[in-house]
Structure 1
């Protein structure tokens, strides 16, 4: 299996994000520990988004999996970038 870095960019509508965040987090928690390795929000308030590390066989598999994210389905993610990632230093569980 490969490791993919997924970057989410969110809408700036804080109320909509807050309303649907519980379902979004529940969805992500259900993916732990595989295929989701870790996920977390960026802390810059002016450009909301998140980084996820996902194990999968292909970027298409990652996209298909994350199509079920409630944030994606409600168009609260304005951009989703999936990139094959090679952790050259350190380890990822």
Structure 2
């Protein structure tokens, strides 16, 4: 199954993002338990805050449908979303 690297760039509304963080993390936890999220976490705030999710799904359209359900998306704190298919060669997510 394809693996995707999802890079979020967050907007300046930190208060709203922090209020939505528990729901955002619960959403990620559900996807992790289902095997869709392989790893996730925040990116350093320099130069702008963001997040990285490694996800697997049948195709990019499925990833986009899942991302649309992220509580961060519904409260509008994501300024940019970059989705790239990734082929891990080494490490725990490597494709044999």
* Structure 1 runs, 4 residues or longer, greater than 3 Å off: none
TM-score, normalised to structure 2, is 0.89
User: What are the equivalent positions in structure 2 for 1:1-93 lying under 5 Å apart?
Assistant: 1-33=1-33, 34-44=35-45, 46-92=47-93
Structure (1/2) with the larger helix percentage: 2
How many residue pairs get aligned? The number is 93
RMSD over aligned CA atoms reads 1.4
Instruction: Flag structure 1 segments of 5+ consecutive residues without an equivalent.
Output: none
Give the Cα separation in 1 of the matches to 2:76 and 2:13: 11
TM-score, normalised to structure 1, is 0.92
Deviation (angstroms), 1:45: 5.0
